Chains A and B, each alone.
Chain A
Amino acid sequence: MNVYVEGVLALMGINILLALSAYAILATDRLSLGNAGFMAIGAYVSSYLSVNLGWGLLPAFALGGLTAAAVGLLVGLPVLRLQGIYFVMGTLAFGEIVRTFFQNFEPTGGAYGMRGMFGTSLGMIYACVAVFLALFLAYGMARAGLAADAVRDDDEAARSIGINVVAVRLLSFAWGALIAGVAGALFAHYALYIESGNFNFLVSANAVLFVILGGVQTVWGAVVGAIILSLLPEGFRFLADWRLTAYGFILVAVMALRPEGILTRGMLRSLRRLLARTA
């Protein structure tokens, strides 16, 4: 396969994972602008394990993701107590702290970054996408998933029927952290080189934008949004210089004209009916 095409597909896969991680938290009606921090944790931990300690890829990736999830639990506890804007800013602060931490942390390269990783293949990336997506769909149909929906739609009502809102949010937060961590591990071993600047605020912001554009109501929205926004800059290559500007315009336009995103629950239902009819 053409190296260029492979690169686009690989990054698209990682973007889908990032979108899923943002979705996990958005689905409980909380906006996290710090998922790049979890991605960084997954990336650096897995890289240290595989490069410095000689671990195999699978265990390194797994521990990278789990470390991110553990940090998610630890940080989630105090941060999830914050309301509205404060929560957003709290996640933002977290993301920046992680980034600047790795910028100074010598054992993983500090400002020079870390190199020597390799091994991620397209197959690996999309296998992870498939697994996480399946888990999301299974969860959505289980009782726990319905609880999350309830939490998203109405906090008070959910609490009144006995749902532990805090627990649901915390677990979703850690779940999102896990996915972001795995995305980071895959990214590090694909890019062959990482540095703290790879995990900045823009990465967190983009993860959220994927979901918003695709539609925050269903998990497919995250997938669709990530695919479209990954391919758009490539599709715009004929615009040469104006490529990124056009990309920005599209983002703003969609937000203003269709804030619920491309895929809504209603649209999904219509699509399903359409598919059922043609089957």
Chain B
Amino acid sequence: MNRNGRTIISLIGVLALAFAADVCAQKPSGSEVRIGVVVPVTGQAADVGKREAIGAQAAADVINARGGVGGVPIKLYFADEGTNPQEAIGAVRKVAGDDKVLAIVGPHYSGTAEATFPLGNRLKIVQVAVASSKPGVAKANRPYAFRNTLTEDKIGEAVVKAAKQRYGLKRVAIISDTKDAVARSLGMGVLPAALQVNGIEIITGKDPVTFQNGDAQFTAQVTRLKSLNPDGIALGALGPDALNIILEARKQGMTQPFFGTAPLMEGNLPERGGKAVNGTFAGSVWDSTLDDPASSAFKAAYAARAKTMYPGAFTQNPDYYATNAYDAVFMMVEAMLKTGVQNRADSLEADRDRIKDYFSKLRNFKGVASTGFNDDGDGVKNVIVTEARDGRWRPVASR
């Protein structure tokens, strides 16, 4: 080979080596990898939010025990969103701007997410909401908005079907929130559709009985429900309100069953409601009685962390919201390793975009209760219908 040929081959060799070196240098640098966690630890969803926080931290514990992200430990930066869009915006600004995290686990509700998702797009940082399930929210906020939740329409159909099977429902009345975003879309959209699909008559037609999230009393509403004499009542409500409605109904002598979807699983309804709420149906994507390897590992990590973080009666047992947060952290770490996130001060924007790109294509994730996202940015999961019985939510059927 002549001298030119040798030069060319050496050049290619050098380039190849450089390329290989670049690909191999996928390990992040720096002293810590930062992930933000914006969940409510005060406000209406405080109990759930604390469980989510513990779930996220439990994931970080497991990852750090294995050596961190390519040798660099993970540190979670928490900011309370207060179950309140205003505070959530401030929290996102803080963890993204001051703490310079690579991605954010949170926020919680749809009402909050609808406020912070546009901000996330402007700041170009991924947010993975952990409880937002109102249909369409992530879709309207591509590309940085993701939700590790199953949208309500899918849960609603499963729950109504199971409730009909158990209780032989033919005529149902709907009571709906007019204030909270998710509860309202449940009562005005998701539940009516699910009832129709299952061939159940909606006594209240297009005008459900209404209340406002956080109302102190429900006598007028329950009296009206009672006068309609339904076979069952569909709840377009968040857990705390649902509890009060059911208690008032039992006080007024109603014995009919109640049912709703995922938001019912907050507010510790079975624990607080006792016998009055037995038989209430709700929907979920994971149950703490599951014992496959992923669930067992999660439960162990969660239990260990719950001893020191927000210890208390309502955080002892993990719920599926906690798994959403736990899986979200693992997803982010997987994204970082597979896309070669560099974790340098000057690579912040690029790193955040790498995570975003990875998430938009994530379809086969192996999580506790997560498999990745669909084209709309929403989670893809299985539905587990649950009922309140003897102080706990217990699975009824799973599809």
Pairwise interchain contact B98-A111, C-beta atoms closer than 8 A: no
Within the complex, the shortest CB–CB distance from A143 to chain B, in Å, comes to 43
Asked if A126 is at the interface of the complex by the 8 Å CB criterion, the answer is: no
Of the candidates B98, B118, B180, the one whose C-beta lies within 8 Å of that of A116 is B118
Enumerate B148-196 residues with CB–CB distance to A below 8 Å.
178-181, 184
Pairwise interchain contact A3-B115, C-beta atoms closer than 8 A: no
What 0/1 readout, one digit per residue, does chain A (143-167) give for beta carbons within 8 Å of chain B?
0000000000000000000000000
Main secondary structure of the interface of B (DSSP, over half): helix
Of the candidates B97, B111, B118, B119, the one whose C-beta lies within 8 Å of that of A112 is B111
Residues of chain B within 8 A of A113, CB atoms compared: 85, 111, 115
Q: Which of A103, A112, A115, A198 has the most CB of B within 10 A?
A: A112
Residues of chain A within 8 A of B93, CB atoms compared: 3, 7
Of the candidates A4, A111, A115, A118, the one whose C-beta lies within 8 Å of that of B184 is A111
Measured in the bound complex, the distance between the Cα atoms of B86 and A116 in whole Å is: 13
Enumerate A75-127 residues with CB–CB distance to B below 8 Å.
103, 111-113, 115-116, 118
Pairwise interchain contact A118-B86, C-beta atoms closer than 8 A: no
Q: Given the interface contacts A4-B98, A191-B89, does A111 sit within 8 Å of B115 by beta carbon?
A: no
Q: Which residue of A lies closest to B93 (CB)?
A: A3
Asked if B94 is at the interface of the complex by the 8 Å CB criterion, the answer is: yes
Residues of chain A within 8 A of B85, CB atoms compared: 113, 193, 195
Of the candidates A3, A4, A115, the one whose C-beta lies within 8 Å of that of B118 is A115
What 0/1 readout, one digit per residue, does chain B (254-285) give for beta carbons within 8 Å of chain A?
00000000000000000000000000000000
Pairwise interchain contact B94-A4, C-beta atoms closer than 8 A: yes
What 0/1 readout, one digit per residue, does chain B (67-103) give for beta carbons within 8 Å of chain A?
0000000000000000001100110011001100000
Q: Given the interface contacts A7-B93, A115-B118, does A198 sit within 8 Å of B98 by beta carbon?
A: no
Of the candidates A3, A115, A118, the one whose C-beta lies within 8 Å of that of B98 is A3
Query: How many chain A residues touch the partner (CB < 8 A)?
Result: 16
Measured in the bound complex, the distance between the Cα atoms of B184 and A195 in whole Å is: 16
Residues of chain A within 8 A of B90, CB atoms compared: 7
Of the candidates B97, B118, B212, the one whose C-beta lies within 8 Å of that of A192 is B118
Asked if B114 is at the interface of the complex by the 8 Å CB criterion, the answer is: yes
Pairwise interchain contact A3-B94, C-beta atoms closer than 8 A: yes
Residues of chain B within 8 A of A3, CB atoms compared: 93-94, 97-98
Asked if A278 is at the interface of the complex by the 8 Å CB criterion, the answer is: no
Measured in the bound complex, the distance between the Cα atoms of B84 and A198 in whole Å is: 11
Within the complex, the shortest CB–CB distance from B322 to chain A, in Å, comes to 26
Within the complex, the shortest CB–CB distance from B118 to chain A, in Å, comes to 6
Residues of chain B within 8 A of A193, CB atoms compared: 85-86, 89, 115
Residues of chain A within 8 A of B180, CB atoms compared: 111
Residues of chain A within 8 A of B122, CB atoms compared: 118
Q: Given the interface contacts A7-B90, A7-B93, A112-B181, does A192 sit within 8 Å of B98 by beta carbon?
A: no
Q: Which of B114, B115, B178 has the most CB of A within 10 A?
A: B115
Within the complex, the shortest CB–CB distance from A8 to chain B, in Å, comes to 11
Measured in the bound complex, the distance between the Cα atoms of B360 and A220 in whole Å is: 54
What 0/1 readout, one digit per residue, does chain A (1-34) give for beta carbons within 8 Å of chain B?
0111001000000000000000000000000000
Within the complex, the shortest CB–CB distance from A238 to chain B, in Å, comes to 18
Pairwise interchain contact A192-B184, C-beta atoms closer than 8 A: no
Within the complex, the shortest CB–CB distance from A200 to chain B, in Å, comes to 12
Of the candidates A111, A116, A118, A195, the one whose C-beta lies within 8 Å of that of B178 is A111
Enumerate B323-355 residues with CB–CB distance to A below 8 Å.
none
What 0/1 readout, one digit per residue, does chain A (126-145) give for beta carbons within 8 Å of chain B?
00000000000000000000
Pairwise interchain contact B98-A2, C-beta atoms closer than 8 A: yes
Within the complex, the shortest CB–CB distance from B178 to chain A, in Å, comes to 6
Pairwise interchain contact A192-B114, C-beta atoms closer than 8 A: no
Measured in the bound complex, the distance between the Cα atoms of B110 and A193 in whole Å is: 13
Pairwise interchain contact A112-B114, C-beta atoms closer than 8 A: yes
Measured in the bound complex, the distance between the Cα atoms of B90 and A193 in whole Å is: 11
Residues of chain B within 8 A of A115, CB atoms compared: 114-115, 118
Q: Given the interface contacts A4-B98, A111-B184, does A192 sit within 8 Å of B115 by beta carbon?
A: yes
Q: Which residue of B lies closest to A198 (CB)?
A: B86
Measured in the bound complex, the distance between the Cα atoms of B212 and A3 in whole Å is: 34
Within the complex, the shortest CB–CB distance from B87 to chain A, in Å, comes to 11
What 0/1 readout, one digit per residue, does chain A (183-213) give for beta carbons within 8 Å of chain B?
0000000011101001000000000000000
Residues of chain A within 8 A of B179, CB atoms compared: 103, 111
Residues of chain B within 8 A of A111, CB atoms compared: 178-181, 184, 212
Q: A111-B179, A193-B89 are in contact. List 20 more A-B contacts (CB 8 A).
A: A2-B98, A3-B93, A3-B94, A3-B97, A3-B98, A4-B94, A4-B98, A7-B90, A7-B93, A111-B181, A111-B212, A112-B114, A112-B184, A113-B85, A113-B111, A113-B115, A115-B118, A191-B89, A192-B89, A198-B86
Can you report 14 A-B residue pairs in the complex whose CB atoms are below 8 A from each other? A2-B98, A3-B98, A4-B94, A111-B179, A111-B184, A111-B212, A112-B111, A112-B184, A115-B115, A116-B118, A118-B122, A191-B89, A192-B118, A198-B86
The 10 closest A-B pairs by CB, nearest first: A193-B115, A3-B97, A111-B179, A3-B93, A193-B85, A3-B98, A112-B181, A115-B115, A192-B89, A192-B119
